Amino acid sequence: MKMKKAVTFLTVLFASIFLLAACGGEDSGGNGTSSGNTKSIKFMHLWPEGSSAQHHKVVNEIITDFEAENDGITIDLEVLSNEQYKDKIKVLSTSNELPDVGMTWAAGYMEPYVNGNMFAAVDDIIESDLSDSFVPGTAEAFSIDDTAYGLPLELNISTIFYNKAIFDEYSLEEPQTIEELHEIVDTLNENGVNPIALGNRDAWTGSMWYMYLADRFAGEEDVLTQAINREVSFEDPALVQAAQEIQKLVESGSFVQGFNGLADEEAKSMFMGEQAAMYLIATWDLPNFTTNEDVPQEFRDSVGYFKFPTVDGSGDSNSYVGGPGVGLFVSENSDVKEEAKAFASYFVQQWGEKAVTEVGIIPATKVDADSLDLPQMYVDVLNDLNEATNITLYADVQMSASAAQVHLDMIQALFGGDVTPEGFAKTHEDTLSAEE
Amino acid sequence: MNKVMSNKWIIILYTFPALLLIAVLIVIPLILSGYFGLMDWDGIGAMEFIGLDNYIAALQDTKFWDSTLHSFLLALFSACSLIGYLAVALILASKIKGASLLRKIYLIPMLLSSVAIAQLWIKVYNPSNGMLNSILLGLGIDNPPAWLADPNIVLYAIFVPIIWQYAGFYILIYYAALKNIPESLIEAAKIDGATPLQIALKIKIPLIMNVFKVTIVLSIVGSLKYFDLIYVMTGGGPNGASEVMASYMYKLAFSSYNFGYGSAIGFLLLIITLIVTVIIRKLTVSKDEIQY
Amino acid sequence: MRRIGYTLLYVCLGLVAVFQIFPILWLFMFSLKSNQEIFAGNPFALPLEPRWENYLKVFDGGIGTYFWNSIWITALATVLTILVASMATFAITRMKWKLSSLVLGLIMVGLMIPIHSALIPLYNMFLNVNLIDNPLSIVITYVTYNLPITVMILLGFYTTIPREIEEAAIIDGSSIHRLFFRIILPISAPIMSTTVIINMIYNWNEFVFVNTFISSEKYKTLTVGIQNFIGQYMTDWGAIGATLVISVLPIIVAFLFFSNKIMEGITASAVKG
């Protein structure tokens, strides 16, 4: 009889599966284990070696230094790419398995985690180790009800980068006002040059254009932020005018063909491949225009930037769209919370200068630019930052996650001409007021 | 004979592993997802039981219905394309020269992961540098469409790579089924003077009808829960023009932190798929089994 | 007339063949390009200066471990899936019992579940049995989630197996296990090869489950190697192309092997049948 054989086989199969499962259990549970003298801190970040070699290296240096200075503490590292990181954090949080230290985005993104008591308050770190070390406004973006739950690592402002060679060819000057921008667009279009690279499939790119126009039309007040905070209506004239202006820009052929189907990456490549003259992006792309050896020197030399133009004499060109990117959080339910906090604090202290000099990004901590040897464009950006009168945090970060989704969809519809400026404002107003 | 073939213990033994795995890893998550659908839950904080509110909200949600319609369109196109795959498989399984090489070449794209296929088709559809528009411009067609940006086109544009991606899968199944037909039947028909077309229509296709019916179910079910290329290539945009049920569910649960609502949509997706499958089975399954 | 028909047929077949082989060639060229050429250049163009360093980067990224994990996880999951699915299909289609259609229905429900609905419950369950960050969780999940489609494909073939084969075997005094392992499995070899190919491709290219259930580098698979090149603001597409090329090669070899098996198996079964 083969019966016996088959039964034995199946039994062995399932027995071995469960046995393996039991064995596997021993070395799992990386969430803040403290066994004996060594404590391990689980740390997750989103800078894989392959794509963010410098970030990755600096993080590893900081970890090595921290472990050397703190006997008996090891850092248990997991690295994921951006999208996968977000998805995994989401899954981990449902099972209350967040890493001891991890990365988060500001405001709207972190709100559910804070409300669900997942993130630890880090005011104590900011007041002691890191007092006065953050650029004003950055730590606040990671605060909810005046309590900070994240330590910002990056700070970006967005400006319009342009190709000087193309501008010179058609004797164009950096525009001060939106009318001048329209003239430049017309000239470029007459000569068959794509004026502005825009990858609006990701929609946050188009959102930056809209936010800037809203800021300029509103003048002194940051009406957009006020509307998101429900201090004014989203149907405020400035917010509708900005939407109208977006459609004017689209109608005059300012943006590359098919922008609603292009990823930001494709748009960026068009700009970097000298197929478009201008590109609005945040300063995280500075290395591409300055130090990145993979980009041809000739191109890097021909990139300049200008501040977003004013509108009808309204608006302040020193007011920016931007804000902190990722920050560190400490898990509220960590078994090694004190050590995790110490690590997060140490990380931020070490990160600041290394971020500028080695990684080539602008950290959220104050940096003394004069003492460092930096490319001119960095110096200029750091100076602009010092003179900034206002930084409006990206709308999709400010809003709750579900409102942000509506906003991004509406941005695509606005750019695609599928919604009127009034309808655009109304949908926002309805969504935001429904959340109150 | 009947006694041996209806031995209870053997039936249990043979189906137990499959049933255990499916019960634990599919049915339980399924029940849980239906249960989460009854909650107001962002996936992080406390759950609040809200009864059928999420399901009622879904039924009134135009985005949900739009995405459902898009999924059904995909299912329709996928099912129709099966006829084309069957034709290709018939040619490849016939005794023409080079059939073996052609078969291997035809199936190669199926080996590529969705990441690769998405990148390929993003390059095909790029409005200014893309392969398709380069060709169209070369043919003298001015202003070719921006395939993934135009809300009227994007849905159909994205169906093409999805259907293409699965071509190999179905051709392979049909091919194996056709090769399973006893040679003697075909020889006999040839002797009777049947043309290749007649052999295909009168002998081959009826004999693989069971397999064909299965593939109809597979393609419709697969289409209704399809996610990959849509997520990578358009993200459901612009403004929901290419959103399907699974991508909408993902967006709600994972991007909008509306896990309760997302779960409800996921559960509805399953219910819809289930109803459609039952209908298809009712329509296609006949009592008389085809025997050689 | 007939001749023209054949020529026309071959022209069409040839065109489709070119169309089908193009993606692999394209992928190879893609892997030798810079981001610039990939996004802004002519997609048909050859790389200006082939960037072989893209491959170097991939090997520096420690692809060896990933590669090995991909191979054994794929192989184990595929074998288990096909064994479990064949047994279930045999019981459902060849044996006589009342609940068979109910069991089949339950298995078919497995076809319909969107994976993102299942992800969070699955994570929680594996966490409870300490299987998180254990490759076994991946294997079990792959087996389960590929089971329905494998059963469905096998189903169509099992129903066409002539009853006489079984009757003859049983009359000869063969046990059911002997019938299944020695007769049914061998004659279904062609369709098993088909399901092997399909399972292999699915398991090899899967990454949502791996990313969610696995956190240690030592257990990650090749698809995670791709994630390594996706950055917060910048993605190295050339290196992703190189990873894709490296990872598609073994699957092509395996595919060619099993694709021939389909033919061999048929010849064998034709003799027996």
Q: Residue C231 and residue A284: Cα distance in Å, rounded?
A: 12
Percent of chain B with pLDDT over 90: 53
Examine residue A2 and state whether it is found in any structural domain, yes or no.
no
Residue of A nearest to B13 (CA): A7
The model's confidence at residue B284, banded by pLDDT at 50, 70 and 90, is: confident
What lies within 8 Å, CB to CB, of A283 at 6+ separation is: A156, A157, A158, A159, A322, A361, A362, A381
The average confidence (pLDDT) of chain B is: 89
The answer on A241 and A123 residing in a single domain is no
Provide the pLDDT for residue C173: 84
Task: Determine the Cα–Cα distance for residues C56 and A276; give it in Å rounded to an integer.
Answer: 32
pLDDT at A24: 45
> Is the residue at C44 inside a domain?
no
CB A100 within 8 A of CB A41: yes
Give how far Cα A143 sits from Cα of A103, A122, A371, Å: 15, 9, 31
Q: Are residues A138 and A232 in the same domain?
A: no
Domain shared by A107 and A235, yes or no:
no
The reported pLDDT for the residue numbered B207 is 87
pLDDT tens-digit map of C139-178: 999 999 999 999 999 988 888 888 888 888 888 888 888 8
Cα–Cα distance measured from residue C59 to residue C61, given in angstroms and rounded to the nearest whole number:
5
CATH number of B61-284: 1.10.3720.10
B100: which residues sit within 8 A by CB, 6+ positions away? C263
DSSP A175-233: -SBHHHHHHHHHHHHHTT-EEEE--TTSSHHHHHHHHHHHHHHHTTS-HHHHHHTTSS-
Residue A7 counted as domain residue? no
What is the spatial distance between Cα A199 and Cα B238, in angstroms, rounded to a whole number? 12
Residues A226 and A315 in one domain: yes
Nearest C-alpha neighbor of C192 from the set C107, C273, C87, C91: C87
The minimum CA-CA distance between B152 and chain C, rounded to whole Å, is 25
Shortest alpha-carbon distance between residue B278 and chain C (Å): 9
Residue C50: the pLDDT is: 85
CB-based contact, A194 to chain B, within 8 Å: yes
Contact status, residue A73 vs residue A34, Cβ threshold 8 Å: no
Q: How far is CA C240 from CA A37, A86, A181, in A?
A: 42, 20, 38
Distance CA A430, CA A56 (A): 43
A240 shares a domain with A96? no
β-strand pairing of B48-49 with A194-197: unpaired
CA distance A91 to A70: 31
Same domain membership, residue A178 and residue A49: no
Give the global pTM. Answer: 0.90
Cα A10 → chain centroid: 51
- C-alpha span between B154 and A418 (Å, rounded): 14
pLDDT band at C1 (very low <50, low <70, confident <90, very high): low
Chain C interface includes A102 (CB < 8 A): no
Chain C touched by B270 (CB under 8 Å): yes
Domain CATH number, residue A107: 3.40.190.10
Tell me which residues of chain A, numbers 145 to 184, contact chain C at a CB-CB cutoff of 8 Å: none
> Reduced to 3 states, what is the DSSP secondary structure of residue B48?
strand
Residue C130 lies in a domain: yes
Q: Chain B contact for A117, CB < 8 A? A: yes
The ranges assigned to domains in chain B are 61-284
CA-wise closest residue to A42 among A89, A98, A111: A98
Q: C33 in a domain, yes or no?
A: no
In one-letter notation, the amino acid at residue B179 is: K
Position B227 scores a pLDDT of: 93
How big is chain B, counted in residues? 292
Hey, are the CB atoms on C269 and B180 less than 8 Å from each other? yes
What subunits make at least 3 CB pairs under 8 angstroms with C?
A: A, B
Chunk chain A into consecutive blocks of 10 residues (it has 436) and report each block's average pLDDT, rounded to whole numbers. Answer: 52 54 44 66 90 87 93 91 89 91 91 92 88 84 92 93 95 94 95 94 94 92 91 94 96 94 89 93 89 86 94 87 92 92 93 84 82 85 88 91 92 94 96 89
What ipTM is given for this predicted complex?
0.89
A257 and A213 assigned to the same domain: yes
**Percent with pLDDT over 70 in chain B:** 97
pLDDT of residue A11: 55
- Residue range C262-270: average pLDDT? 56
Q: Which two tokens stand for residue B86?
A: 């069957």
Taken in order C104, C109, C112, C116, is the CA torsion positive or negative? Answer: negative
Closest alpha carbon to A239 in A253, A260, A225, A259: A225
Stretch B242-259: mean pLDDT: 92
Give the count of domains, chain A: 2
Rounded Cα–Cα distance for residues B101 and C17 (Å): 10
In A2-113, which ranges are E strands? Answer: 34-35, 38-45, 73-79, 101-105
- Contacting A with CB below 8 Å, chain B residues are 10, 13, 16-17, 42-46, 122, 125-129, 146-151, 154, 234-235, 237-240, 251-252, 254-259
The helix/strand/coil state of C108 is helix
Residue type, A394: Y
- CATH number for the domain including C193? 1.10.3720.10
Facing residue for B240 by CB, picked from A261, A400, A409 = A409
What average pLDDT does range B229-237 have in this prediction?
89
Task: Looking at the structure, tell me whether residues A317 and A331 fall in a common domain.
Answer: no
Is there a single domain that holds both residue A126 and residue A147? yes
- Count of domains observed in chain C: 1
**Amino acid in the structure at residue A411:** I
- Give CA–CA dist A318/A341, Å, rounded: 36
pLDDT of residue C270: 45
Domain with C255, as residue range(s), is: 54-272
Domain assignment present for residue A72? The answer is yes
Range of the domain at A426: 156-322+394-435
| Record: contact C228-A50, CB cut-off 8 A | yes
Question: From the list A115, A118, A256, which residue is nearest B128 (CB)?
Answer: A256
Which chain A residues touch C123 with a CB distance below 8 Å? 91-92, 94-95
Examine the domain organization and report whether A328 and A235 are in the same domain: no
Cβ-Cβ contacts under 8 Å, B255 against chain A: 401, 405
Q: For residue B199, what are the CA distances in angstroms to A356, B176, B202, C216?
A: 73, 17, 5, 56
